[in-house]
Structure 1
């Protein structure tokens, strides 16, 4: 389902001339092309040249991508809107001395300063992007124009939203853009897993490709809006794009909730929830024109108070989970400090958190907010701060320097480094993932225990899930499933976890 392997970019020397422009240097490359900085010879005006190539692809890939190239050229020539990147020229290169360039299609476009993805990556996680409403209004306006003229973008994501001078916001990368044939169109079975709607996975792929509808863009806008308003957080949990896609399918099947970030304002939460309706028919009630109108109204309206930090949980139905789902690593602000005591102070709202650790427990105060934040990464009711604390006490006694060299287990959560790397998330937002860092280790424990919980439910094991989770963490999901319960060799460890859990949930 993902795009083809990315070929190396074409080697174009600085000063190479393409029609009325000269190439300056490479900006970036993707699955079927590369983008180069350029200047207009007459006046030095900046531009970007996108080279569309198919020379290094297999015959099957080449046929699909040649068709996509024709579609992109066609749409680029017809696009005319302030929120769509403007194409100045379409040139077919003729250079017999450079066989690698001869016949390549070049699109000369407006040059952006950066992409929305760049802006998200540069900002602090969990913080809305500056002028988020204006950015989303531009995206929605461009989408409304495309839909009104019968087009589907089909690859809307932050990397394909460009930001130029003068507050310009442009939709770009029209490689998958297609024109509707009635209510739908067809594209090759490729796309960005983080932004395709749940029904994408069940659509049949025929000789003409996979069915795509304009509601796919509405879904993608919902994901993008959530990322813009939360500093990059995806609305579905998972440590990888494939895991997040599985989480979206689980939500659409009704076996997992839609849990939007609790920092969203009420009006934005409602709109994003409508964009992320679980099926095409439900999303069809919100067309791009109405979406654009509502986004403009939200951007123009007065500042609104944020809701009490409480997760919004919406269910789509009652089907069974289709696959294992991991949890998204959310980076939340650290707890406040008690000036008198000189140590972290438990948040006043902690008592409202389901399964919160009691204030008079033996859980170190310095770890309580970290444990609470980690538990919020999971939508399963069994994965609570109390359960994580009970497991940490049994694993290491809350010792960040604990170690079992014989089994290569280290740190507060007793991670084996190789296993940690497979699940690792950045728990403290410092850009590193270290199994010896308590925030990283505990956040990753939450991710893994969330997956174990869902894995066992999927396998029909629903009795005493905290015990099964503790056993799976100490052994493996396979050992628990094959046993049909807690393996005998880890029963003493599980009993210790359950005793701790009882003490923390009194």
Structure 2
């Protein structure tokens, strides 16, 4: 992608962040003497009309909602080379993911921030928009005379109106996405965003996204009252009918609660210092951050950007998910943990994903087998991977050279979560049944009532590697 010197009247100063489909630049509005964020479509997507339309649609949606709890769009246009761009609020205080690197927020600050995020989600829902990718990096912060303003960003995978009833492909971010978002045609609705609000609030309170066990926030931070636990856990119910019915209802519950909590900041500080246990580093979280003041829209999952695999040096540093001395390449641990915890399913684990990668390619990201039409570290066939890549069919079928670990490893988790639901009645080791499904199909494994003989050598190998990689 070429470096533009300007976009319309906006002088480009420096790159804030970039992804596979777009980049966000810090710009300067010469006429108003103000800093702005300028999002520009990557040049190699300029001729794809469907990609251009989706890019422009994001700007339209942000403009239509017009809430101070969402990033504002001020202008839209094209560069001389034909690339579309739009101009947004500059988040000079960075994003919430950066704020949370030191751990959870003080109780009142966390609850106040959660209410503000819920206001932004409610504004989207009132216009018939489901965000689908609520997470800390999509919550931006801008300084104002009254303090930092919280704003939502990135509607790249948002769904609106009639699109809510059309075919829905798996999309979202692990740790924050509702269970139905892991399914093809899971038909996410406003209650999917309620789940995302619950996961975000959990992270604000504890410093970690919720884990598979759905422990109450107070299990990590004892100073959190049981009433807060109840509100957050209701938002995180696996069955959407059991959740809060709307973002407005979730926000109202927080409003009623916070009026009963001491708001003295000095008293709160004393509680958090004296009674909080030592923080544990998050095991499932470690997303790539590109600059302290990124506007956020260039670093998120969805139609425009591949899911980040993470800061792999910080992924699972204590060996919670994988042994640290078993030869698993450190640069892939983040993606492996992400794929292995994509959903709650018997047999699925980071150790299984690592074992399959070892069996498939010996962790070779450049593997190329044209005869079998299989490529990359996970041996994907491009016409199959197109369904399971981040954003699904909203993105084009990848060429072999484009099948990177960042694309192909998380796709394994999506694939196994979808097809694994058909294996619940199949006897045998659930992990090895999943491995056989990856090599064949769920139908093949189901009809064979287990691993077909043809795939037994492969699953035996996977089983040996699982034992080597899982923590002891």
Question: Could you say which TM-score interval applies, normalised by the shorter chain?
Answer: 0.5 to 0.7
Which aligned pairs between 1:75-224 and structure 2 lie closer than 5 A? Answer: 75-93=61-79, 95=80, 102-113=81-92, 114-121=94-101, 123=102, 125=103, 128=106, 131-166=109-144, 167-181=148-162, 184=165, 189-204=170-185, 211-224=187-200
TM-score, length-scaled by structure 1: 0.51
Question: By how many angstroms is 1:268 displaced?
Answer: 2.0
Tell whether the 8 Å contact from 1:163 to 1:169 is kept in structure 2 after alignment.
yes
Aligned partner of residue 44 in structure 2, secondary structure: coil
**1:24 maps onto 2:13 in alignment:** yes
Instruction: Give the deviation of 1:21 after TM superposition.
Output: 1.7
Asked whether the equivalents of residues 54 and 66 of structure 1 are also in contact (C-alpha less than 8 Å), the reply is no
CA distance in 2, matches of 1:178, 1:480: 40
CA change 1:147–1:156 in 2 (3 A) is same
Between the aligned partners of 1:90 and 1:147, the Cα distance in structure 2 is: 24
Paired residues for 1:424-463 under 5 Å: 459=429
Which SS does the other structure have where 1:156 is aligned? coil
The structure with the larger Rg is 1
Q: Give the CA deviation at 1:90.
A: 1.2
| Contact 1:126–1:330 under 8 Å retained in 2 | no
Q: How many residues align?
A: 301
Q: Does structure 1 residue 35 correspond to structure 2 residue 27?
A: no
Cα contact 1:37–1:46 (8 A) shared by 2: yes
Deviation (angstroms), 1:225: 0.9
Does residue 276 in structure 1 map to residue 236 in structure 2?
yes
* Pairing partner for 2:210 from 212, 219, 235: 235
Label 1:419 to 1:76 Cα distance change in 2 as closer, same or farther (>3 A): closer
Q: Summarize deviations over 1:235-287 as a string: whole Å, max 9, x none.
A: 11xxxxxxxxxx4xxxxxxxxx422341243222111111111123323x421
Unaligned runs of 5+ in 1: 1-9, 96-101, 205-209, 237-246, 248-256, 311-326, 332-373, 379-412, 426-446, 462-475, 483-496, 498-506
Query: C-alpha displacement at 1:230, in angstroms?
Result: 0.9
1:239-254 matched pairs, under 5 angstroms:
247=212
Q: CA deviation at 1:165?
A: 0.8
In the alignment, structure 1 residue 303 sits paired with structure 2 residue 262: yes
Following TM superposition, by how much is the alpha carbon of 1:73 offset from its aligned partner in structure 2, in angstroms?
Answer: 2.4
CA drift at 1:133:
2.1
CA distance in 1, matches of 2:50, 2:236: 29
SS at match of 1:290: helix
TM-score (norm 2): 0.54
CA distance in 1, matches of 2:232, 2:116: 16
C-alpha separation in 2, matches of 1:148 and 1:279 = 23
Instruction: Give the drift of 1:448.
Output: 7.5
1:418 to 310, 314, 327: 327
- Matched residue SS, 1:418: coil
- How has the CA–CA distance of structure 1 residues 215 and 54 changed in structure 2, closer, same or farther, with 3 Å as cutoff? farther
Relative to 1, partners in 2 of residues 1:53 and 1:187: Cα closer, same or farther, differing over 3 Å? farther
Aligned residue among 212, 216, 240 for 1:260 = 216
Q: Does the residue aligned with 2:58 lie in a helix, a strand or coil?
A: helix
CA distance in 1, matches of 2:331, 2:428: 21
**Preserved contact between residue 65 and residue 123 of structure 2 (Cα < 8 Å):** no
Gapped regions of structure 2 (runs ≥ 5): 286-317, 335-349, 356-426, 432-460
| Structure having greater relative contact order (Cα 8 Å, sep ≥ 6) | 2
The answer to whether residue 6 in structure 2 is matched with residue 12 in structure 1 is no
For 1:330 and 1:52, the matched residues in 2 are separated by: 30
Q: Distance in 2 between matches of 1:188 and 1:480?
A: 31
SS at match of 2:151: strand
- With over 3 angstroms needed to count, the CA separation of the structure-2 counterparts of 1:267 and 1:56, relative to structure 1, is same
